[in-house]
């Protein structure tokens, strides 16, 4: 079987063994594929494609008639037109839950940096500010104790459930909107109630047509003054202009973002705001997480070869 991996570098910049992939068939691996014409040319007569962020649509499927299987090296698969894939007889699989521990961890890395300004204080000390201080202590940002706060989760799948347990360990109350199932210790509420009650709101849902820009002026106006927004899901869940205005006005006291609408961003009204922390879509990227991702991707391909497809999304 001929296999093409269109954009492998994010998963493996050189620290993971790709040999299990080479055992599956005739595979060609590219670090990056940047244009539609390049995508079509590289897929060519391949039967299976491994892809992360390269957009695959009906035009590409029509130009690559031998393509029968796509496995996405991610949980989210919004870059693949799954309806068009179905129309062309192409099966699409994803990799669910591989990054749950690391993304839950990163939610709190962002939140704790907002709450305590750890990095900013360390930089200040290294510049010599502590040595010049007349007191034994000082702080250069407002500090926030998480215990007693309410953390609202929009989306309560594996990642939201894991993060809610961490919130509980910090002494916080966890509430959620749009959960697949009941989660012990988490109160399920309407979106309006979540917006009104939460001190911190974490986005832990996939991006869909229904929730695109769920964080916008109308929903921001419903939130408590000084709310904190955390997004490790998808940038399209937020209207960046509306959030920037809320951050400038103080309606939102801080935001921790691992994702933006455009990645990499050519421009964003959020990046240079003082009360925003932005990381370059790394919540999923610890080596342990990427190793699990590769392992399930290999199993997805094996299951396709054996005719017993797993993790099918269309």
Of these residues, 106, 281, 290, 292, which one is catalytic?
A: 281
Q: Tokens 């399920």 label which residue?
A: 188
- For 67, phi and psi rounded to 5 degrees? -70, 125
To the query of whether residue 139 is one of the catalytic residues in this protein, the response is no
Question: Containing H/E element for 302?
Answer: helix 287-305
CA–CA gap between residue 149 and residue 8 (Å, rounded)? 40
State how far the alpha carbon of 207 is from the alpha carbons of 26, 51, 213, 237, 279, in Å.
Answer: 34, 18, 9, 6, 19
Shortest CA distance to 292 belongs to which of 95, 112, 111? Answer: 95
Of these residues, 59, 123, 145, 263, which one is catalytic?
A: 263
State how far the alpha carbon of 195 is from the alpha carbons of 151, 184, 227, in Å.
Answer: 10, 21, 9
To the query of whether residue 263 is one of the catalytic residues in this protein, the response is yes
Of these residues, 106, 234, 290, 292, which one is catalytic?
A: 234
> What residues are annotated to the active site?
234, 263, 281
């Amino acid at each position: 079987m001929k296999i093409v991996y269109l954009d492998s570098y994010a998963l493996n910049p050189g620290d993971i063994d790709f040999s299990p992939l080479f055992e599956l068939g005739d595979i060609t691996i590219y670090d990056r594929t940047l244009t539609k014409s390049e995508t079509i040319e590289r897929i060519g007569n391949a039967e299976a494609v491994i892809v992360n962020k390269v957009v695959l649509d009906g035009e590409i499927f029509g130009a690559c008639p031998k393509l029968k299987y796509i496995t996405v090296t991610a949980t989210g698969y919004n870059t693949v037109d799954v309806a068009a894939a179905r129309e062309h007889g192409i099966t699409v699989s994803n990799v669910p839950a591989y990054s749950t521990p690391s993304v839950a961890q990163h939610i709190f890395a962002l939140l704790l940096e907002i709450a305590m300004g750890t990095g900013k204080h360390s930089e200040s000390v290294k510049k010599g500010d502590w040595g010049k201080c007349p007191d034994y202590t000082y702080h250069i940002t407002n500090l926030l104790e998480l215990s007693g706060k309410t953390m609202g989760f929009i989306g309560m799948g594996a990642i939201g459930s894991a993060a809610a347990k961490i919130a509980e360990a910090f002494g916080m109350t966890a509430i959620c909107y749009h959960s697949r199932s009941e989660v012990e210790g988490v109160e399920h509420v309407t979106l309006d109630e979540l917006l009104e009650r939460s001190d911190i709101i974490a986005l832990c849902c996939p991006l869909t047509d229904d929730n695109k820009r769920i964080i916008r002026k109308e929903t921001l106006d419903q939130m408590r003054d000084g709310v904190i927004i955390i997004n490790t899901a998808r940038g399209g869940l937020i209207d960046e202009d509306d959030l920037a205005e809320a951050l400038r006005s103080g309606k939102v006291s801080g935001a921790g973002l691992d994702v933006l609408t455009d990645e990499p961003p050519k421009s964003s009204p959020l990046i240079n705001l003082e009360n925003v922390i932005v990381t370059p879509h790394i919540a999923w990227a610890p080596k342990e997480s990427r190793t699990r991702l590769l392992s399930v991707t290999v199993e997805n391909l094996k299951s396709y070869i054996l005719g017993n497809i797993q993790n099918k999304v269309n």
